[in-house]
Amino acid sequence: MSLSPISDASLPADVRSAGTQATKDFKTALRFEQLLVGELVKEMVPKDGPLAEGPYASTMQDTLTTALVGGQGLGLARQLYKEMQS
């Protein structure tokens, strides 16, 4: 799975204002969330379905993952970030 680049502009304002290390930590947490959701998407796709095989299967799975996670994630990244700041 290829990870989408994370723009600083898509990060929550409180993270951006907390400095460079906070931005780096949140991006790390968001990348972990992307990887986790990507693996879940792979497992959800029926093995004999159109998203499992074919020339666009990987691209479709990555697009679905990106759409699910979006700019600020599903919430797991925020929790991980909070733990990293403790």
Within a domain: 23: no
Report the pLDDT value the prediction gives residue 29, as an integer from 0 to 100.
92
State how far the Cα of 81 lies from the Cα of 86, in Å rounded to an integer: 9
Confidence of residue 72 (pLDDT cuts 50, 70, 90): low
- Per-residue pLDDT reduced to its tens digit, 2-30: 666 788 888 899 999 999 999 999 999 99
Flag whether the pTM goes above 0.75.
yes
Q: Are 69 and 36 in contact (CB under 8 A)?
A: no
Within a domain: 18: no
Within a domain: 19: no
Report the 10 Å Cβ neighbour count for 41: 21
Statement: residue 1 has pLDDT above 70: no
**Average pLDDT score over residue span 39-61:** 79
3-state secondary structure of 40: helix
DSSP 8: G
Q: Domain count of the chain?
A: 1
The proportion of the chain whose per-residue pLDDT surpasses 70, expressed as a percent, equals 91
* Domain coverage including residue 53: 31-86
Q: What is the dihedral sign for C-alpha 10, 16, 19, 25?
A: negative
